[in-house]
Amino acid sequence: MALNLVSPAEIKATPFLGSAKSTYFPKLPAGFALKRKDCRAVYGRRVCCSAQPPPPAWPGRAVPELGRKTWDGPKPISIVGSTGSIGTQTLDIVAENPDKFRIVALAAGSNVTLLADQVKTFKPQLVAVRNESLVDELKEALADIEQKPEIIPGEQGVIEVARHPDAVTVVTGIVGCAGLKPTVAAIEAGKDIALANKETLIAGGPFVLPLAQKHNIKILPADSEHSAIFQCIQGLSEGALRRIILTASGGAFRDWPVDKLKEVKVADALKHPNWNMGKKITVDSATLFNKGLEVIEAHYLFGADYDDVEIVIHPQSIIHSMVETQDSSVLAQLGWPDMRLPILYTMSWPDRIYCSEVTWPRLDLCKLGSLTFKAPDNVKYPSMDLAYAAGRAGGTMTGVLSAANEKAVEMFIDEKIGYLDIFKVVERTCEKHREELVVSPSLEEIIHYDLWARKYAASVLESPSLRPVPA
């Protein structure tokens, strides 16, 4: 059989968004693995890369291994990022279920006051504070407790928390590429990962997934959309998954006409119709970059082709995502928007833990009334095409997309660029990165290009087509 493959020259001649089209990279026959060796100079040396995709965390099905250890007593948990949103909600779960979970190690960034309170409540054996200058303050805050934990400062302390010998599962709630090294350390130490750090897969997928397979550990998704998919594929037979359907709220501008977007101010983008969240994630919901990044995560987690991952606007945010099976059945996971449920499932899987109705309200569909859906507008949300293009490019491109978006959103919030310029900054950064794309990167290369993308995205501001927004 003759295959018409795209040459490197043709790739460079094609606009970056051209790779968003499914016809650009033709589908191959089932069972046929295409390997493309691509040698280029990185840091002044030659790097050979293979286009063989990394193994998915869950190849379209989730079946517990026979003989896998279960826990009669409290399961030992480490938390990286204990004072953030994911960390505090995880600790709420532990506090409600002391017979099911216990904390052995905690790591935080700089919120020493909250960290000290957490130590007093949960009595971990090991504590890390990333900001080394705050160690003395933490020690002073813990001076009056009898059972003092070991304290290790800096990045090394965070790594030691992640690979604590007693921990079985590590909750990775730390934000950004700072979460990559601790996650890698935990995997190498044989710990299962309750994944809340998006860079682990979006930037690190080509490196992290083979490592997880090598050490036979499980990566369990803690965000609501991927947890919904994970819950829906429980018990599916091999090859049963046909399509993934990611639901999106649509963000602040889901009901705005496209031609009005040029008038968007920062305050407009921060008005989420459903939730009160941090500024960055609220803007990502408005641009739909959050969903584009979730498409990439879904590809890495479940092995679905990008052609088989779709986005649907669902304003009520009750269906957290769906899967379609080969026989066209569609399975959905429903629930009130509450991050504690997906976090809990990463900690308890494959078991289900009873939850009190007082703190975990049960879903009342009759009270809810109706659920609605509509297709997203690619003109209103060009982030979708950018994300699919980056995903199909693979390698370091997905991390560059994420980092460039993060920097662009920061510049928008600071009123240095306009709302529509967010998309321009990300596209230009990805277009530039095609010159140095590394398909099978090392951890160091992933971190290097994350930093490069932020720096390059900031430099795009100097372009005459990107003018600061008047204060």
For 99-127, the pLDDT digits (tens) are 999 999 999 999 999 999 999 999 999 99
The Cα–Cα gap between 293 and 403 comes to 11
Distance CA 208, CA 198 (A): 12
459 with 407: CB under 8 angstroms? no
Predicted confidence at residue 65, as pLDDT, reads: 83
pLDDT band of 71, cuts 50, 70, 90: confident
List the structure tokens of 158.
């965070």
pLDDT band at 464 (very low <50, low <70, confident <90, very high): low
Q: How confident is the model at residue 175 (pLDDT cuts 50, 70, 90)?
A: confident
pTM value surpassing 0.85: yes
Rounded percentage of the chain residues whose pLDDT exceeds 70: 87
Domains of the chain by residue range: 75-237+332-358
Lowest-pLDDT choice from 2-6, 146-150, 354-358, 368-372: 2-6
Q: CB count, 10 Å around CB of 245?
A: 24
Phi, psi of 388 (to 5 degrees): -65, -40
* Interatomic CA distance for residues 435 and 367, integer angstroms: 54
Which is it for the CA torsion 133, 134, 138, 143, positive or negative? Answer: positive
The torsion angles phi and psi of 468, rounded to 5 degrees, stand at: -55, 145
**Per-residue pLDDT averaged across 451-455, rounded?**
97
According to the model, what pLDDT value does residue 6 have? 35
Confidence at residue 309, expressed as pLDDT on a 0 to 100 scale: 98
pLDDT digits (tens, 9 = 90+) for 268-306: 999 887 766 789 989 999 999 999 999 999 999 999 999
- For helices 397-413 and 279-287, the axis angle rounded to 10 degrees is 110
Both tokens assigned to 38: 């691509």
Q: Does domain 75-237+332-358 have CATH number 3.20.20.70?
A: no
Does residue 216 carry a pLDDT above 60?
A: yes
* Ranges 49-53, 137-141, 316-320: which has the least confidence: 49-53
21-70 per-position pLDDT tens digit: 433 323 322 332 323 334 444 333 334 444 578 999 999 999 988 877 77
Q: Using the structure block, give the residue that is written with the tokens 């080394």.
A: 132
Among left, alpha and beta (phi > 0; psi -120 to 50; other), residue 43 is left
Contact, 285 vs 252, CB < 8 A? yes
Residue 18 pLDDT: 64
